[in-house]
Amino acid sequence: MKLEMLRIFQVTAEQGSLSRAAEMLGRTPSAVSMILLQLEDNIGGALFEGGRKNRLTPLGLLVLEESRRANEAYDRSVKAIRRYANSTAGSVRIAAVPSATISFLPRVILRFRRERVDVRLEINDVDSAAVRRRLEFDEADIGIVSAAPDDVGDGTLIERTPLGIVCRSDGPIARAAAAGNASWSLLDHEPMIVNPLCSFVKSPIVEQRMLTATLESRNTTSLLAFVQSGLGATILPQNAMPVTGDNLVFVSPTDPVSFRHLLMIFQSKRPRSPAVEAFCSTILNIGGSE
């Protein structure tokens, strides 16, 4: 069974037509039909119901799912080879939560570039769950995820940052905080914009506001834009603030003091290249210096 057979079967199954598949593949319909017959003989069962190739058998549905997995894995490997070939010193794929790409990774990249300017870096900002999926499916070499203080798990701690309320400087939360209120109850003054970091705050006030909130976002840039627009306040790490404008402030409640941890995690399916190891060392050096 050859990979090309699975690719041709996948295209035919997704197109639902032998002629359309042949046109897309740049082959004649008879050539595509012959390859499909060879695949069915190899497997030992029919993949299509009838001769029109527009309906799959139960076996065909299973083979289609496996064909997609095989072809996606092959395509990822080809891309990895080409990335490495096009870079004189290899490549590093980083999947990180958005707040890390704003506050932490720029410092890491600046230091890394001082000595390794020839390494290709690919940065994707996604939430923690998506970071772990990218590592699992070999779509990233290094992952940076957010974690609560009591959930270090399988990662390496690289940063510990206070969490607080981000709000407009001219809004009711900022005015109440200026008067000496340093409580999470400040969130009662404005609508709360929910994001995954809110769950790290072990406060009944925050937990209740999460249940009643009507606006949610997982992207730090979007959250800051919403706050700047006057849609409410949100909870973010303190080091997300340098990229904001003058109209936002950070308030640090003390009931309780809350933190966000950044963890570095890896995919275990292949050995780490020298470029990946060098980037990891830079992350640890930056994290350890704070």
pLDDT tens figures, 148-184: 767 666 789 999 889 999 999 999 999 999 998 889 9
In this prediction the pTM is: 0.64
Q: Percent of the chain at pLDDT above 70?
A: 92
Residues 61 and 79: their CA atoms lie apart, in Å, by: 27
Residues 288 and 280: their CA atoms lie apart, in Å, by: 12
CB atoms within 10 A of CB 58: 10
Residues 210-217, mean pLDDT to the nearest whole number? 94
CATH number of 88-157+261-288: 3.40.190.10
Determine the pLDDT at residue 201. Answer: 94
DSSP SS3 for 209 = helix
Strand partners, 167: 249
Measured between alpha carbons, how far is residue 203 from residues 207, 253, 255, 258 in Å? 6, 10, 7, 9
pLDDT tens figures, 248-284: 999 999 999 999 899 999 877 677 888 899 999 999 9
pLDDT tens figures, 120-138: 899 999 988 899 999 988 8
Structure tokens at 133: 């999926």
Torsion of CA 119, 120, 121, 122, to 10 degrees: -160
Using CA of residue 131, residue 262, residue 227, residue 109, what is the dihedral sign? negative
Average pLDDT, the chain: 88
DSSP 50-82: SSSS-SB-HHHHHHHHHHHHHHHHHHHHHHHHH
Q: Do domains 88-157+261-288 and 161-259 have the same CATH topology?
A: yes
Determine the pLDDT at residue 273. Answer: 84
Determine the pLDDT at residue 171. Answer: 94
pLDDT tens figures, 226-241: 999 999 999 999 888 7
CATH number of 3-85: 1.10.10.10
Read off the pLDDT band of 243 (50, 70, 90).
Answer: low
Residues 131 and 264: their CA atoms lie apart, in Å, by: 11
Question: Under 8 Å CB-to-CB from 96, ≥6 apart: which residues?
Answer: 104, 105, 123, 124, 125, 126, 131, 143, 144, 145
Determine the pLDDT at residue 204. Answer: 95
Q: Percent of the chain at pLDDT above 90?
A: 62
CATH class of the domain defined by 161-259: alpha beta
Indicate the domain borders of the chain: 3-85, 88-157+261-288, 161-259
